[in-house]
Chains A and B, each alone.
Chain A
Amino acid sequence: MARQVTTRRKLGMTAVGWIVALLIFFPILWTVLTSFKTEGTAIATPPQFLFFDWTLENYFEVQSRSNYFRHMMNSIVISVGSTLIGLIIAIPAAWAMAFSPTKRTKDILMWMLSTKMLPAVGVLVPIYLVFRDWGLLDTRTGLVIVLTMVNLPIIVWMLYTYFREIPGEILEAARMDGATLANEIVYVLTPMAIPGIASTLLLNIILAWNEAFWTLNLTASKAAPLTAFIASYSSPEGLFWAKLSAASTLAIAPILIMGWFSQRQLVRGLTFGAVK
């Protein structure tokens, strides 16, 4: 009897899971489908789901109107660059807070997080002016700097949580075993921290890749990443749904593929059973 109930529950949960997943995925699926439609079919009522004349015309059109690969390179440089610099700054910071916390550690963490509570537009004007005066507008360097700063609190928080999960007794054991601080870092801490650092890296690349506020406001053409590339298709001359969808599909494709291949890393835990 009890067993039947569990089976039914399992079926119910599975169904709910699928429905939620499909709901979340549907906009992406619709975007991808629309990108293969003509502009006419794209706005047809009732909407056509799968049975329409599939065409690659939008992709050719998008590629001829703008240089996709240059935008993609910008996106790669900006997201990877800001993430790496962010990690270089955040690892020691999170490390210090996780392994030698003080009374103020919690306050510092809250303070860092509080910068994310301010709407970005609130500092747009000052940052814009600083960038203009320093010649950073529409440069990759400028965007790397601003995205590093924008995502730094999240990187520190993520790493801090991961580092906190490394049991202190293991570090003490290493100290008893005669490891110097350098040995401790190289042989014990880094191997244990790498899964956490890897997940932080991947997640932050995704965040930086999708960041649209700063990338749209601080670039014009030279350093414009894929977000700006998509935005250029929602233009005043009218909405071209099919082309916009093609541009969006092209923009999310690289990060989707990266996410797909690294999903194990993204959800991976930290310890493997040394401490129970």
Chain B
Amino acid sequence: MGSITLRNVSKSFGSTVVIPDIDLDIAHNEFVVFVGPSGCGKSTLLRLIAGLEDTSGGTIEIDGQNVTAAAPAKRGLAMVFQSYALYPHMTVYNNIAFPLKMAGQDKGAIDKKVRDAARVLNLTDYLERRPGQLSGGQRQRVAIGRAIVREPKAFLFDEPLSNLDAALRGTMRLEISELHHQLQTTMIYVTHDQVEAMTMADKIVVLNAGNIEQVGSPLELYRKPKNLFVAGFIGSPRMNFVSGAEAQKHGAKTVGIRPEHLVLSTTEGAWKGKVGVAEHLGADTFLHIHVDDIGQVTARADGEFGVNHGDTVYLTPDPAKLHRFGPNDEALA
């Protein structure tokens, strides 16, 4: 099992309040991603759950047991750090075996578990090496291996892929998702990259300035963002926001429309604009268009959509996909 419940959890460093008051339920076997901009408190929240920071208030329960005051090791959680945090003086084998040694397991059992983990993570050939002799991706796998041998109630990942290059990040993303299916264990994953959040999560927790802005499945957040912040944070490229007269037509302070929900035409449409930079990704082209009276708008076009810098195009927002936000930036029904 591995359900985690936070009730009124708060954290301050001196007079700086990092997390004012958070309630959160994480069910067994869920893959939960904490996402938000730098300094939003997502790593702090993870460290509170891990027990590496003490809470300033509230309670943390794991499987119904209050662990608010328990030491990190007593919570039955395993963590993968951003810097990998491998023990530099130990071989890969000893790194993975370390938590088992600490738990006082016998040599035979340790050996079997380490070799099993190494096989799952393709590390068998590297067991006698030291972390310094491994590539970034291999180090990351060792860190994951050290976590899985403990058979924890939940895995905590603190921005584990941010030190890897883009191609490797994509591969590791798949490996971690695959691992989640194999292990059937709760995973909490912290990232500032909304693509990682969208692709891996069962449930995304969007944090901003220590507050939970919204909790939901990736598609829920994509389709029904609760406020301007979530709307702008989830989705790539970013949602276009339009305020002023155009928004008032829809009875809102601000309206939002995603680049993929704008219909492009070279002949007619609701908004007229001039093409600026076009980003060609192959299948898609992202056009940055300057629309009269509205400003800069990003639109997604088919990869074959042929326009040049300075051409005039017309945009029509899909009315069913228009997001309306009220005076306090909350989404309107």
Contacts and interface: CB of A to CB of B under 8 A. Distances in A.
Contacts of A180: 102
A179 interface: yes
B81 A274 contact: no
B73 A273 contact: no
A188 interface: yes
Interface string A237-276: 0000000000000000000000000000000000111111
A170 B73 contact: no
A192 B131 CA distance: 14
Contacts of B85: 167, 169-170, 172-173, 274-275
Contacts of A111: none
B132 to A, nearest CB: 3
A272 B88 contact: yes
A183 interface: yes
Contact of B73 (A169, A175, A274): A175
A13 to B, nearest CB: 29
A274 B86 contact: yes
Q: Which interface class (under 10, 10 to 19, 20 to 34, 35 or more) fits A? A: 20 to 34
Interface in B85-103: 85-89, 98-99, 102-103
Nearest to B79: A176
Interface in B125-177: 130-133, 136, 139, 146, 150, 163
Given A177-B73, A179-B102, A191-B89, A172 B52 contact: yes
Interface string A63-99: 0000000000000000000000000000000000000
Given A172-B52, A192-B88, A275 B83 contact: yes
A178 B87 contact: no
Contacts of B73: 175-179
A54 interface: no
B79 A173 contact: yes
A213 interface: no
Which of A172, A177, A180, A272 has most chain B Cβ within 10 Å?
A: A177
Contacts of A30: none
Nearest to A195: B89
Nearest to A183: B102
A171 to B, nearest CB: 9
Nearest to B134: A273
A173 B78 CA distance: 9
B103 A178 contact: yes
A169 B81 contact: yes
A209 to B, nearest CB: 30
B98 A177 contact: yes
A177 B146 contact: yes
Contacts of A167: 83, 85
Contact of A272 (B52, B84, B89): B89
A18 interface: no
Contact of B132 (A174, A176, A179, A273): A273
Given A177-B150, A183-B102, A274 B77 contact: no
Nearest to B80: A173
Interface residues of B, number: 30
A26 interface: no
A173 B72 CA distance: 10
A170 B99 contact: no
Contacts of A187: 87, 98
Contacts of A183: 102
A271 B87 CA distance: 10
A183 B83 CA distance: 22
B78 to A, nearest CB: 6
Interface in B60-88: 71-73, 77-79, 81-88
A275 B98 contact: no
B207 interface: no
Nearest to B156: A176
A275 B136 CA distance: 10
A170 B88 CA distance: 9
B87 A276 contact: no
A11 to B, nearest CB: 33
Interface string B12-53: 000000000000000000000000000000000000001010
Contact of B87 (A172, A175, A188): A188
A274 B139 CA distance: 8
Nearest to A170: B85
B130 A272 contact: yes
A176 B103 contact: no
Contacts of B103: 178
A273 B78 contact: no
A188 B79 CA distance: 17
Given A274-B131, A274-B132, A176 B52 contact: yes
B232 to A, nearest CB: 31
Interface of A: 167, 169-170, 172-180, 183, 187-188, 191-192, 271-276
Given A172-B85, A173-B87, A176-B79, 11 more contacts: A172-B52, A172-B72, A172-B79, A177-B78, A177-B98, A177-B99, A177-B146, A178-B73, A192-B88, A272-B131, A275-B85
12 contacts: A170-B85, A170-B88, A172-B79, A174-B87, A176-B72, A176-B73, A177-B98, A179-B98, A187-B87, A273-B88, A275-B85, A276-B83
7 tightest A-B CB contacts, nearest first: A273-B132, A274-B88, A177-B99, A178-B73, A173-B85, A178-B102, A169-B85
